[in-house]
Amino acid sequence: MISNILVALSIFILTILAVFFDEPLSAEARATLAMVPDRTTHRAVLYRAGLNAPENLDPFIYGQYMLWGSSSSGTTSHPGALQAIESQGLRSPRGPFFCSLYEDSGCWSQISAINTETLTALEKDHATLLNRYQTWLKISDAKNETIGLTPENSVPVEHLSGAHRLVVLRAFHDAAQGQAMASSERLQTTIMDLRQHFTLADDFPAKLIVADLIDESLQVASVISQTHQVKIPSISPLTAQEKDLSVAMAQQFRKVSHFFLSIDGINFSRPPPQENSLAWAVRSLAMQRLVYKPKQTSNRAHEALRFWVKASRASPADFIRLMSQEIHDNNFKQAWDQWRNPLGHIVGQLAEPRFKLSIIRLQQLDITILMFNVTQEQPIDKLSSKALANPYGQGAPATLSANRSALCMPSPDLIHSEATCLRLAV
């Protein structure tokens, strides 16, 4: 009888502990939080953030101000700099030649037909921005390993993509003037420079934006190659280091874990009149602990982060295997977390789709490079079944679009993504 009571009491105590008590923050999670400094010292990041600086101001100074509100020394570097910083920056390129290649069906025809007069006017109008873009491409941070926390607004997207479009317009124009090979070579150099920044990109927005610039360069090089019958040397596939998202994910983990931990101990409403505030706080915290455990939420987010870091480095075929494994594994742990920490289980999973979508985008870029290379090695009409095989290891092979303007590789159903297409003609 007594033994039964002790067993029941032990089960009751363990249940109370399981329901109400959080777990300590794991050593791995603490190490990741300590991995990312408060600020970045990457020259490329600072210059990129200041790409749209006013005409008379150094982009490095403007970038520091845009990211942190001051220069690296905490002050502006010369008299009048603060006034310049607070003035309006460069205009971003606008107009029909800066349309979306992926959303505007007439965009390819528009940009490929650029004439000399229009291009000259655009390059003159945005000469400072174009010069800064070319300078940024050549900045090397390979020896600088201090990758710090970067705000989400570290990329002036319209200026970066607009400057790159000017490079693309010049490539189309010169190719039409009989300089297709020279245009292709300049695009190759641009791709190499962008891949240097792609490898060192330390946040999700920068990584994905640079991926889009590389992709646009590949698409344009492909169109020029097929239109003007010039062959371009093969482009090396993305390396595991280039696809690696560990630093970007560490930044993201620091941001979300700060949010998870900041909820700890919050009272969701004021204590009613004539009720002891301490008693109300204790009861409020106890009720909160029934549905939310901040440290457990952070620990599970870190475990997910480690999985996605591994997935980010994988080849397309290995990525699909990992996705299949993720669906079927850890069912018991997820059920346990959902029971103990229902709110934390929901909140902790919100960031994961962003990881998956980012990795899929990098896989698609790798597949675009693969398709680009095979179309340079073999005539379009004679592509072998091996060349058309799906690199994911499952799913249909690549096919030509109905109007033969693109070669498209279907994505497996598992990742619920559109086909990856390489443009062949405007």
pLDDT at 241: 87
pLDDT at 339: 61
Q: Helix, strand or coil for residue 137? A: helix
pLDDT at 13: 47
pLDDT at 336: 66
Sign of CA dihedral 385, 391, 393, 394: negative
- Strand ranges inside 160-260, DSSP E: none
Contact 281, 239 (CB under 8 A): no
Q: How many angstroms separate the first and last alpha carbons of the chain? A: 85
**Alpha carbon distance 222, 373 (integer Å):** 9
Burial of 4 (0-12, 13-18, 19+ CB in 10 A): exposed
Contact 367, 409 (CB under 8 A): yes
Sign of CA dihedral 58, 59, 64, 67: positive
Q: Which residues of the chain have pLDDT under 70?
A: 1-20, 70-87, 141-153, 202, 263-290, 326-339, 350-353
pLDDT at 416: 83
pLDDT at 73: 46
Q: How many other β-carbons are positioned within 10 Å of the β-carbon of residue 163? A: 26
pLDDT at 88: 75
